[in-house]
């Protein structure tokens, strides 16, 4: 794309994952149809996208108590607890469910395993909204662990092992191995979504062949922060939210530039940063309008 001394590439699968893309699409379509749209907590962890949604009449509240009775509520990709769903139904608000289908499937596994007498063990972050919601689908009490070491020693009869969608496979297999040694019957359902893992692997690959990496995404986005951490373990890395933070001094002597973005980073922010880098470094006003035109980009 660039004919000057710089090469600028983007990591494969950068930006929105399937579930986030779907939730945004559902929300923007709803915004065309309904007036007061609310979400419980921000729809995604990206301040610029939250502002854009606000401009389209989509606001977030911190709890169900603050939901107005004449509003339309969008359920985020993380899903909500069964209790929260009932509270919303009792308020008689219009509910549009944008729970990621992979998360919804995991909720279903929680329900089925517990109904079939399995002690459900969830690998995940107990405070994360996805895990809080998953727990509510377990009939009896779920055991939530952040690693295999946290699984309490006991003689379990039947253990059902599932995972928050964004956990790593290594941690999950450690937990499954430990469970097998502790119970007569173990049912393991791999509910890990590979969107996170794929983004991390692609970022690492690009970082290894770059002189400098630009990681784009919310400073409050844990998946973007993880990409920045992985990238900075191999090469000089800058984590930015918008093109305003670009500093051209970063690129002095660094000609191979890699770009990556978290699963909650919208395409228009990635494109804006890419176009600004080209314009300032190469003096060319390409104005690439589609992320797929950036060298290296491919969604799998
Ligand atoms: Fe869904 Fe996977 Fe994204 S579970 S929300 S597609 S990270």
pLDDT digit string, tens, across residues 134-146: 999 999 899 999 9
Distance of CA 52 from the midpoint of ligand 1 (Å) = 21
Asked if residue 1 has pLDDT above 60, the reply is no
Max CA separation in the chain (angstroms): 68
Distance of CA 279 from the midpoint of ligand 1 (Å) = 34
Confidence band of 3 (pLDDT split at 50, 70, 90): low
Asked if residue 49 has pLDDT above 80, the reply is yes
Nearest atom in ligand 1 to the alpha carbon of residue 223 is: 7
77-101: pLDDT as tens digits: 999 999 999 999 999 999 999 999 9
Query: What is the per-residue DSSP string for 33-79?
Result: H-S-EEEES-SSS-HHHHHHHHHTTEEEESSGGG--TT-EEEEPTT-
Asked if residue 210 has pLDDT above 90, the reply is yes
Q: Measured from the CB, is residue 17 less than 6 Å from ligand 1?
A: yes
**Atom 3 of ligand 1: nearest residue by CA position:** 19
What pLDDT sits at residue 223? 85
Asked if residue 220 has pLDDT above 90, the reply is no
Q: Residue 294, by phi and psi: left (phi above 0), alpha (psi -120 to 50) or beta?
A: beta
**Atom 6 of ligand 1: nearest residue by CA position:** 19
What pLDDT sits at residue 299? 67
The label of the residue with tokens 């962890």 reads 45
H/E element holding 111?
helix 101-115
Q: What value does the mean pLDDT take over residues 10-17?
A: 93
Q: What value does the mean pLDDT take over residues 47-71?
A: 93
Count of helix runs (H) and strand runs (E) in the chain: 9, 12
Asked if residue 2 has pLDDT above 60, the reply is no
What pLDDT sits at residue 196? 86
What pLDDT sits at residue 86? 96
**Atom 2 of ligand 1: nearest residue by CA position:** 193
Instruction: Answer with the residue of higher pLDDT: 269 or 291.
Output: 269
Q: Measured from the CB, is residue 18 less than 6 Å from ligand 1?
A: yes
Confidence band of 300 (pLDDT split at 50, 70, 90): low
Nearest atom in ligand 1 to the alpha carbon of residue 101 is: 1
- Catalytic positions are 130
Count of C-beta atoms within a 10 Å radius of residue 16: 26
Asked if residue 283 has pLDDT above 90, the reply is no
Of residues 261, 257, 245, the one with CA closest to residue 281: 257
Q: What value does the mean pLDDT take over residues 102-107?
A: 98
Instruction: Answer with the residue of higher pLDDT: 248 or 293.
Output: 248
Query: Which range (81-85, 195-199, 261-265) has the least confidence?
Result: 195-199
Confidence band of 171 (pLDDT split at 50, 70, 90): very high
Confidence band of 293 (pLDDT split at 50, 70, 90): confident
What pLDDT sits at residue 167? 87
Asked if residue 292 has pLDDT above 90, the reply is no
What pLDDT sits at residue 169? 87
**Atom 5 of ligand 1: nearest residue by CA position:** 19
* Displacement of CA 12 from its chain's centroid (Å): 16
Distance of CA 101 from the midpoint of ligand 1 (Å) = 8
How far is residue 23's CA from residue 29's CA, in Å, rounded to a whole number?
Answer: 10
Sign of CA pseudo-dihedral 172, 153, 140, 127:
negative
H/E element holding 232?
helix 222-232
Q: What value does the mean pLDDT take over residues 265-277?
A: 95
Distance of CA 129 from the midpoint of ligand 1 (Å) = 13
Beta-strand (E) ranges in the chain? 7-10, 37-40, 58-61, 72-75, 94-97, 119-123, 143-145, 156-163, 183-188, 212-216, 236-240, 256-261
The mean pLDDT of the chain is 93
Cβ(67)–Cβ(91) under 8 Å? Answer: yes
Asked if residue 4 has pLDDT above 80, the reply is no
How far is residue 126's CA from residue 259's CA, in Å, rounded to a whole number?
Answer: 32
Confidence band of 285 (pLDDT split at 50, 70, 90): confident
How far is residue 278's CA from residue 292's CA, in Å, rounded to a whole number?
Answer: 16
Percent of the chain surpassing pLDDT 70: 98
Q: What value does the mean pLDDT take over residues 231-239?
A: 97
């Amino acid at each position: 794309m660039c004919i000057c001394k710089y090469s600028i590439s983007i990591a494969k699968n950068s930006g929105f994952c399937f579930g986030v893309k779907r939730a945004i699409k559902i929300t923007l379509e709803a915004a065309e149809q309904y007036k007061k749209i609310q979400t419980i907590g921000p729809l995604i962890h990206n301040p610029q996208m939250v502002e854009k949604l606000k401009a389209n009449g989509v606001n977030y509240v911190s709890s169900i108590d603050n939901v107005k009775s004449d509003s339309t509520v969008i359920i985020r990709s993380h899903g909500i607890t069964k209790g929260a769903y009932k509270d919303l139904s009792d308020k008689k608000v219009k509910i549009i469910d944008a729970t990621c289908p992979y998360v919804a499937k995991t909720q279903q596994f929680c329900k089925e395993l517990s109904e079939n007498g399995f002690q459900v063990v969830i690998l995940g972050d107990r405070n994360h909204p996805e895990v809080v919601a998953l727990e509510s689908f377990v009939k009896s009490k779920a055991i939530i662990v952040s690693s295999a070491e946290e699984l309490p020693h006991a003689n379990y009869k039947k253990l059902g092992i599932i995972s928050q969608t964004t956990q790593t496979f290594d941690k999950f297999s450690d937990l499954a191995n430990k469970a097998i040694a502790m119970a007569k019957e173990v049912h393991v359902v791999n509910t890990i979504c590979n969107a996170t893992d794929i983004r991390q692997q692609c970022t690492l690959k690009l970082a290894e062949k770059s002189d400098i990496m630009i990681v784009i995404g919310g400073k409050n986005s844990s998946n973007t922060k993880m990409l920045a951490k992985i990238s900075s373990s191999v090469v000089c890395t800058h984590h930015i939210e918008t093109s305003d933070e670009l500093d051209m001094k970063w690129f002095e002597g660094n000609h191979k530039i890699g770009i990556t973005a978290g699963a909650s980073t919208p395409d228009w922010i990635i494109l804006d940063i890419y176009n600004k880098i080209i314009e300032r470094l190469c003096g060319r006003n390409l104005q690439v309008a589609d992320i797929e035109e950036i060298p290296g980009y491919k969604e799998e």
